[in-house]
Amino acid sequence: MNRRKVLTRTVSAAALLGLMQPKEVRAAASLPDAALFSASPEAYWKRIRTEQFLLPDWRVYLNNGSLGVPPKPVVDAVCESLTRGAGLLTDEYPRWGYETMDAQRTEYADFLGCKKDELAFMHNATEAMSTVAGGLDLKAGDEVLITDQEHPSGRGPWLQQQARHGIAVREVAIPLPPKSPEQLVDLLISAIGPRTRVLSFSGITSLTGLVMPIRQICGAARAKGVITVVDGAHMIGQIPFRLADLGCDFFAGSPHKWMFAPPGCGLLYIREEMLDRLWPNTVTGNWDDKSLKAARFMMVGTNNRAVFDGMLEGLRFHKAIGSERIYSRIHQLARMVYDKASRSPYVELLTPADDRMYGSLTTFRFKSKDTAAFNALCKKRRMWIIGGDNLRVSSHIHTRPSDIELLFSTMEETMGAKA
């Protein structure tokens, strides 16, 4: 068979499977148009929920902070990628783990505001944080400062180094809620001592959704010669930012939370000047090829390419709707939670009122320990929330104002009776 015939056959097989349609066009074409958004934003978001997501009407999902929901185009992209791989329709291995994935990293890096060579794809923020803590040359007596608000994935990797190599990990307490961004900068920077080598903190904290003044903290730490590590698990897709502006040395991300990626997608940013100072943890043949730059940290053995195809589709979906539009919607919903919680007699807020200090996560503490009836009714109503004594509410673009109403009316029904 001549080359032309092979090509025609490949193209028609791909077309048959719907593989040749440009994804960006497909995602954008199926979104409701801008005129609807101008005429009725609520109608626009309603259509986004019902047309773009697989969430059934009965599901109230308020735990996006633990794991986000991939929209339909992302699910399609993952399936198509697996199908394409299984059919070997292209001449590339359908995997990552030995590949530098330059085109994909360039697309993501452009959005994040960094260079392709500073970005490595990983499985999640946990892996990225472990790569940094395990890969820096720290010695006994060196100090790492963290806060008392770190997620286990931002604390554990440093504690392991403490147990293994005798570094010292010191925690700085963050007030709940803090008074101002300036107070936070002051607390962290004044805690830096003569042995402090690293300052590692969450850009948005897990427990209360506090948005830290990252740029100011990183700038002041760098001026003192301290390496900064930002656990940005909650940042990508929740708040607009550019990595180059943050000024951190390392950044760990989990786009499967707020950026519509399928589960198992993470990112590690390594500022160019730090690339040669980090040892990779999982290694194979090219472990010492520094010309690979950040891609050296992606030489980890065979992995599933389809999830990264999904991750890119999630990025395109986000861009098609627009970062500003998404942020203002999800923060508006979080503000709704904030206002309702501030008027509720049953809870006290841990999230600060200052709009600069939270994005789409709002956390409050129940005044009563007796939350069993509330939790049971939430479960019965198929409301997915995360909580115990504290309740953290996540709002994303699929969240309906009625979901938030239902949360608070459930509280009233179960707690009001006891008051």
Ligand X SMILES: Cc1ncc(COP(=O)(O)O)c(C=O)c1O
Strand 250-253 with 266-270, pairing: antiparallel
* Residue 118 binds to ligand X (criterion: CB under 6 A): no
Cα torsion angle, 371, 372, 373, 379, sign: positive
Residue choice 64, 100, 131, 153 for contact with ligand X (CB under 6 A): 153
**Residue nearer to ligand X on the CB measure, 126 or 362:** 126
Which residue pairs from 157-166 have beta carbons closer than 8 angstroms and sit at least 24 positions apart in sequence? 157/129, 157/130, 157/132, 157/133, 158/133, 158/198, 158/200, 160/133, 160/134, 161/133, 161/134, 165/138, 165/139, 165/140, 166/139, 166/140, 166/141
Phi, psi of 329 (to 5 degrees): -70, -50
Give the total residue count for the chain.
419
* Residue 394 binds to ligand X (criterion: CB under 6 A): no
Minimum gap (Å) between residue 204 Cβ and ligand X? 7
**Residue nearer to ligand X on the CB measure, 254 or 344:** 254
**Residue nearer to ligand X on the CB measure, 28 or 159:** 159
Residue 383 pairs with which residues in a beta bridge? 60
Minimum gap (Å) between residue 162 Cβ and ligand X? 19
Provide the Cα torsion 143, 149, 151, 157; round to 10°: 10
DSSP one-letter code for 417: T
Binding mask 243-282 for ligand X (x = CB under 6 A): -----------x----------------------------
Question: Mind giving me the DSSP string for 214-228?
Answer: HHHHHHHHHHTT-EE
Binding mask 128-147 for ligand X (x = CB under 6 A): --------------------
Residue choice 52, 64, 100, 124 for contact with ligand X (CB under 6 A): 124
Binding mask 59-88 for ligand X (x = CB under 6 A): -------x----------------------
* Residue 206 binds to ligand X (criterion: CB under 6 A): yes
For residue 135, the tally of other CB atoms under 10 A from its CB is 18
Among 2-10, 69-77, 150-158, 167-175, which window interacts with ligand X (CB under 6 A)? Answer: 150-158
Residues that bind ligand X in the complex, under the rule CB under 6 A: 66, 124-126, 151, 153-154, 202, 206, 231, 233-234, 254
